[in-house]
Structure 1
Amino acid sequence: MYGQRGAMFGSGGVSDGYEIGSKRPRMMESTPYFAVRSSSNSHQRYGYDSRFQPAPFPVVRLRGLPFNCADVDIFKFFAGMDIVDVFLVNKDGRFSGEAFVVFAGNMQAELALQRDRQNMGRRYVEVFRCKKQEYYNAIAAEVSDGAYGGVDNRGSSPPARRKRSPDKDNMEYTEILKMRGLPYSVKKSEILNFFEDFNVTEGKIQIGSRSDGKATGEAYVEFASAEEAKKAMCKDKMLIGSRYVELFPSTPDDAKRSAARSR
């Protein structure tokens, strides 16, 4: 359907795009723009013209996204482009079907506009220009709802957590939880640390991979009981490295099918 994620972005893209994580906290600081990279031959930075005047903020807005959309789907939709941040907009604990995407430079953002009305799954997605302040306002709205657990006065603290969807509280639980949105380089030791308050052992962690051995960004974790797995959902949308990780109730059969696909 789309291009492969991360390492498959093609030349000029991010070699491990999904793992770069959110640079959102740094972009919320008081500086007028963020420097993505700099030239060894010049002090000029992306985001400034030759006279060091701020260029437009390279952000676009998406509308009409599937309601099961994850940020990895947006990385695939914009395969080959250098994405700095993806922000999925939630309203009342539910995904609204809208998102903001920040690129590494204005040329990338202009290219992104050419994908307006292209399909993601069975839905066509609107891609249109927006202002930096709209992006910041969307983040601020979610912060004010407590979705991130607060940001310090400088805006430099990473997001602590997002709200858990109330739907997840009503789902049937087994002893298995699925993790999604993990860094590609995640190790079992990092997952153990993530669930340090729960009785998880390394042998009960299965990190997902494709048949070529590359990580999928998913993992399955087995807890002592369904009740313990449900308690562990308090870690939903908390951070591993710079990535917030989504947790979902799953089943032993799902974990077995994932293991079979990785062979």
Structure 2
Amino acid sequence: MGHQYIEVFKSHRTEMDWVLKHSGPNNADSANDDFVQPRGLPFGCTKEETVQFFSGLEIVPNGITLPVDPEGKITGQAFVQSASQELAEKALGKHKKRIGHSYLANYLEH
């Protein structure tokens, strides 16, 4: 992973659905709006690295979606669904934290 900053936004299912519709097939089986949206992830970032980054946050099964561009490459953003709104708010505490050589910037979006 490279050294860059990541932005994490509060997100909603409708936004994730739109991104997935416009970025190709992906796995996102979820039922609520307890999402955060990290942006600026290193392009080689995996779901496992995302789970590690959000350690302490209970992520629902299949709760990490990494959208891809038309060529199938990861776009540098993700959707992460936590088990509760409280945990999603806690995930926003990762503002400017590093993932590899990157740091996350969090924003709350409703």
Range class of TM-score, shorter chain: 0.5 to 0.7
Are residue 210 (structure 1) and residue 69 (structure 2) matched? yes
Runs of 5+ unmatched residues, structure 2:
13-32
Q: Report the CA distance shift for 1:199/1:188 in structure 2 as closer, same or farther (over 3 A).
A: same
Runs of 5+ unmatched residues, structure 1:
1-18, 23-70, 72-167, 252-263
Q: What are the within-5 Å matches in structure 2 for residues 37-52 of structure 1?
A: none
Give the structure with higher Rg (CA).
Answer: 1
CA distance in 1, matches of 2:81, 2:72: 22
Q: What are the within-5 Å matches in structure 2 for residues 172-191 of structure 1?
A: 174-191=33-50
Structure with greater proportional strand content = 2
Q: Report the CA distance shift for 1:193/1:201 in structure 2 as closer, same or farther (over 3 A).
A: farther
Amino acid at match of 1:195: F
Cα deviation 1:116-173 (Å, max 9, x = unaligned): xxxxxxxxxxxxxxxxxxxxxxxxxxxxxxxxxxxxxxxxxxxxxxxxxxxx8xx898
CA distance in 1, matches of 2:36, 2:58: 13
Deviation for aligned residue 1:215? 1.6
The equivalent position to 2:3 in structure 1, one of 21, 24, 32, is 21
Deviation for aligned residue 1:200? 1.3
Match of 2:55, SS state, is coil
Structure 1 segments (4+ residues) deviating >3 Å? 171-174, 247-251
Q: Report the CA distance shift for 1:177/1:249 in structure 2 as closer, same or farther (over 3 A).
A: farther
CA distance in 2, matches of 1:196, 1:20: 20
CA distance in 2, matches of 1:179, 1:226: 16
Amino acid at match of 1:21: H
What is the percentage of aligned positions where both structures have the same residue?
30
- Contact 1:181/1:218 (8 A) holds in 2: yes
- Contact 2:11/2:35 (8 A) holds in 1: no
User: What is aligned with 1:200?
Assistant: 59
TM (norm. structure 1) is 0.30
* RMSD of aligned alpha carbons: 2.8
User: What is aligned with 1:226?
Assistant: 85
CA distance in 2, matches of 1:248, 1:203: 23
Q: Report the CA distance shift for 1:217/1:197 in structure 2 as closer, same or farther (over 3 A).
A: same
Q: Report the CA distance shift for 1:249/1:221 in structure 2 as closer, same or farther (over 3 A).
A: farther
Cα deviation 1:86-140 (Å, max 9, x = unaligned): xxxxxxxxxxxxxxxxxxxxxxxxxxxxxxxxxxxxxxxxxxxxxxxxxxxxxxx
CA distance in 2, matches of 1:208, 1:193: 19
- Contact 2:34/2:84 (8 A) holds in 1: yes
User: What is aligned with 1:159?
Assistant: none
CA distance in 2, matches of 1:172, 1:201: 15
Cα deviation 1:13-35 (Å, max 9, x = unaligned): xxxxxx6425xxxxxxxxxxxxx
Deviation for aligned residue 1:201? 4.3
